[in-house]
Amino acid sequence: MLRVLKTNGNLFIFGSFHCIFTIGFILQNMFDRRIISQIVWYKPNAQPNITCRMFTESTEFIIWAVNNETKKAKNWTFNYETMKAMNNDKQMRNMWEIPLTPRSEKKHGKHPSQKPIAVVNRIMLAGTNEGDLILDPFSGSGTTAVVAEQHHRKWIMIEKDKTYNQIAQMRIDELTGNLFEENSIKEKSPQNTIRHRPYVG
């Protein structure tokens, strides 16, 4: 990912406590990437803990990093005024209370870790501008592409599972009025790539 991301480009990584701290350590200590912030996504309707042996896990973490050395990183995209406007003219905090993905966003099929549009929407408006190219190397059911289409961003999605690619295809087709041709999902080894043609305003 770092190899293809532009210098000072934004990188957002989702993870639970099982992996997010390791990822942060690797970014800082092995790649010397600048970490700007950690976002905590609080899920008020999180699933209960069936073991009853620990706290109910109701948060997910998002690392916001910049693709440059810590001391050299500069001029990264952060649309401060947009975030402030979305938060009743107050500074946007890094604690986001957003429910789990609603059923309406899963009508074409389910993905076990599908992110709600509301979360991806906030990230995209904060860290990208119209016309930017976004890469999601674990695109799942295509939420990143859906949000990118809504905000006039170009995108490349990569997902190895054919079933999830089909779900993403249906979601994009519904949004854009059958933008793609039937052969628009190209099989590659070992991954499938859904590639969007450049957005034309």
pLDDT at 114 over 60: yes
> Which two tokens mark 128?
């990208």
| 64-99 per-position pLDDT tens digit | 999 999 999 999 999 999 999 999 999 999 999 999
What is the pLDDT, as a whole number, of residue 158?
A: 96
| 41-54 per-position pLDDT tens digit | 999 999 999 999 99
Angle at 135 between CA 24 and CA 121, to 5 degrees: 80
pLDDT at 101 over 80: yes
**Distance from C-alpha of 107 to C-alpha of 192, rounded to nearest angstrom:** 22
pLDDT at 100 over 70: yes
What is the pLDDT, as a whole number, of residue 177?
A: 76
Q: Residue for token digits 């069936």?
A: 50
Q: What DSSP assignment string belongs to 108-131?
A: T---TTPPPHHHHHHHHHHH--TT
pTM of structure: 0.86
What is the pLDDT, as a whole number, of residue 183?
A: 41
Contact between 74 and 36 under an 8 Å Cβ cutoff? The reply is: no
| 53-64 per-position pLDDT tens digit | 999 999 999 999
Q: Is 60 helix (H, G, I), strand (E, B) or coil?
A: strand
pLDDT at 119 over 60: yes
> Which two tokens mark 112?
């076990």
| 153-195 per-position pLDDT tens digit | 999 999 999 999 999 999 999 988 754 444 444 444 444 555 5
192-195 and 154-159 as β-strands: parallel, antiparallel, unpaired?
Answer: antiparallel
For the chain, domains (ranges, CATH) are: 1-98 (3.40.50.150), 101-201 (3.40.50.150)
Q: How confident is the model at residue 4 (pLDDT cuts 50, 70, 90)?
A: very high
> Which two tokens mark 27?
């970014």
Contact between 66 and 36 under an 8 Å Cβ cutoff? The reply is: yes
